[in-house]
Amino acid sequence: MRDNKLLALYGLKHNPFLPGIPVESLWSPPEMDSFLFRIEQLAKEGGFALVSGDPGLGKSKTLQLMAHRLGCLDSVVVGVMERPQSSLGDFYREMGQLFGVNLSPANRYGGFKALRQRWLEHIKSTLFRPVLLIDEAQEMMTCSLNELRLLGSAKFDSKCLLTIILCGDMRLPERFRSNALLALGSRIRYRRILESYPAETLHEYLEYALEQAGTPQLMTRSLMDTLVEHSVGNLRLLNTMAAELLTMGAEKEIAQLDEKLFLDLYTPTPRRAGSRR
């Protein structure tokens, strides 16, 4: 009810600073369209791609954009792994569920053969490989990552049966330097390393987010400057501050969010003279 009141007060289609933004309104960072085009090509050829970066830079939203773009292509099957940290037995259970194969974890060889056969049948009837998206992939067990490499390879590594997008923080690319995962790391065809955003890009993001929400005049320019300055290039931090300001503005029924509201919210209250520490 409170959210509905907030949206009605400012005439918002949705809250532009919370995670549940409609996928059609998601912001696409610079060069993202080029990367997504490469992923669409990879879905035809199979293989690995990697998205990595520090927390709060938009890795999960990148996967959401990717799933949406791939889902718009005819005959593309997209599976999203929900529990990457699973044991190898549970890994096979989830793979079977994602791709419609009844697997018994006790018979991993049978599961291995059944999954590959399902993918081969799909490839024969379409132009695309099945796609597997894995968020928080830095949590995956080494044995599960290597199982993916073996599952998706056929004919002496000359044919890929699966397209796999691994997404995680900066621990993930570091893991591929280890001897146990070196073979997988050498097979990653496309990499997208997210870095802190410059101020100009964050300004573009704010303008886009407000425009998509239907209220381009919600914030003053000076407030946008202040938010960008204090976000230190991190999208999550920017959104967290903006969402808190929006809630406070709605509580005070302020028509337009400005820098004074920011100062009221984030400036520490000075201690009274003579107060105890």
Q: What CATH number has the domain bearing residue 51?
A: 3.40.50.300
By percentage, how much of the chain surpasses pLDDT 90? 74
> Which domain-ending residue is among 173, 194, 215?
194
Please give the pLDDT value at position 277.
46
Sign of CA dihedral 149, 151, 152, 157: positive
Model pLDDT, residue 1: 44
- Same domain (yes/no): 224, 246: yes
pLDDT at residue 267, rounded to an integer: 83
In a domain, 115, yes or no: yes
146 and 186 Cβ atoms separated by less than 8 Å: no
Domain boundaries, position 60: 30-194
Under 8 Å between Cβ of 115 and 96: yes
pLDDT given for residue 78 in this prediction:
93
Those residues of the chain that have pLDDT short of 50 are 1, 273, 277
- For residue 263, the one-letter residue type is L
Q: Which of 194, 220, 246 is the last residue of a domain?
A: 194
**Among candidates 189, 172, 192, which has minimal Cα distance to 181?**
172
pLDDT at residue 169, as a whole number: 96
What pTM was computed for the model? 0.89
Report the Cα–Cα distance between both ends of the chain, in Å, rounded.
41
Predicted pLDDT of residue 271: 57
Domain finish residue from 194, 215, 234: 194
